[in-house]
Amino acid sequence: MFPKFKHLSIKGLLLFAALLAVIFASVLAVLFFVLGLAKELPAVDPNTSFAASGTAADPDSVDGGSEGTAAKAPAVKEWSFPILSAVTGTDASSGQAAAWGLDYGIQGLNENGGIRGMPVKSIVKDTSGNPDKALSEMRNIAQGAIAVFGPAGNQEFEDAHQEAVDTGIPNIGYATSEEIRGQFAPFVISCTAEPGNDAELAVQAWLAQNPEITSLCILYDSSSPAATARMEKASDYVRSLGAQVELAANIEVKEGFDAEAVAKSALESEADAYYIETGAEAFVSLAAQLRAADVPEGRILGGNEAAATALFEYASASDPAVDLSGVNLWSLSDPKGIRSWAVFEQASRERIDPDYLETAADYYEAVNLVALGIETLELTGDMMQVGSEREKLAEWLYNTGEITSPRGTYRIVDGEKIVTPHLLKIQNGAFVLNE
């Protein structure tokens, strides 16, 4: 039966069997030791940390990425982005612009594969500008989302902001005050810069480049809330300079204005420089009149509303002899981004009140900012981890690095949106940085 063992004695067979038994017992002992040790090792909680650049990251870190570990796939089949917005009532124009900006941003995300491969949908809840309704809607929608957008306003929506904080959900609102951002940090983040701050920074940079300017006349489109806010901020800044630079006059540019008459009023202020915060067509008309009166090219500054690709079309259509070479402008977009911004502006024309274009842009940027945060932090939307994921996202949103959008660049500092105006000049039929 066992030919190889037929010549062994009974004693030899017993010794061989004993050896096999010893080997088998040793193997079992090793297995029991390994299994016992594994039971004593603490379990690794995947929610307490994530990897950054291939190394274990601090659990409190808000820097994303997981090169060192495999990222968890999203638990959601669809990301929900709710917005509390006054789409009816006295603030309807602003609220509709905000909702459209959010939808337009979501449309772009979905056209490019969604967020972490999952589609995104918007949920618009009408507050009608009512604080009680805003609070009620915040309670209803905050339970199932990773973040909530709106409501728009300051102190009047404090209860809604408080509800977001109590729920522990990032609340990307509109024009929130420094007091509210500090009180509810890091969960309440402003998706808009304080109105007019961009103009103040731009005028400050322009005057620094032109220290010989001693008086300034500001012309502005009084029908535009943005232009009016920028005029006021720029005026306050010039007044703060005291004797260094005089504010010669603020002149309204109304619908159907006479460019020659308005320019004459500006020249009568005897200012030695002019800041024009109007749309492109009005800017071309006024700048042409001022240049014809021998105002030097570097003494004219166009505002953000003038810095559009349409500027050159208006110039060539109105008067081929108009020469705007060397004239300064400031823009939230860098020269390469102006055409992208024009695409956004064109898409908005049939959908929202043009006076609230920037409101739409703020929410468009907010949608893409939240999407970037989710991608960077590799969030899953898993309701079993929603508390920790919301907190990570809130901390990431509260202080960001520089963000680029079609409108330009910005960053969030302690919950406040800080935009970066670019000082440009017209050269060879194009916008270039004025360095």
**pLDDT 10s digits, 242-285:** 999 999 999 999 999 999 999 999 999 999 999 999 999 999 99
Tell me, what amino acid is at 330? W
**pTM here?**
0.74
Domains, the chain, in order of start with CATH, read: 79-190+341-418 (3.40.50.2300), 197-332+422-433 (3.40.50.2300)
CA atoms within 13 A on the CB side of 30: 6
pLDDT, mean of residues 292-307: 92
pLDDT of residue 313: 78
pLDDT, mean of residues 193-218: 94
Q: What is the percent of the chain where pLDDT is above 70?
A: 81
Q: Which residues contact 429 (CB under 8 A, 6 or more apart)?
A: 312
Instruction: State how beta strands 416-419 and 408-413 pair.
Output: antiparallel
Is 222 in contact with 250 (CB distance < 8 Å)? no
Query: How sure is the predictor about 152, in pLDDT bands with cuts at 50, 70 and 90?
Result: low
Instruction: Please tell me whether residue 394 adopts helix, strand or coil conformation.
Output: helix
Instruction: Please tell me whether residue 416 adopts helix, strand or coil conformation.
Output: strand
Strand order from edge to edge, sheet including 416-419:
403-405, 408-413, 416-419
Place of tokens 């509390």: 84
Is 310 in contact with 385 (CB distance < 8 Å)? no
Structure tokens at 77: 């089949």
Q: Which of 239, 173, 174 is nearest to 200 (CA)?
A: 239
Report the distance separating Cα 339 and Cα 345, nearest Å.
10
pLDDT of residue 417: 93
Question: Helix and strand tally (H, E) in the chain?
Answer: 13, 17
Query: How sure is the predictor about 4, in pLDDT bands with cuts at 50, 70 and 90?
Result: very low
pLDDT of residue 173: 86
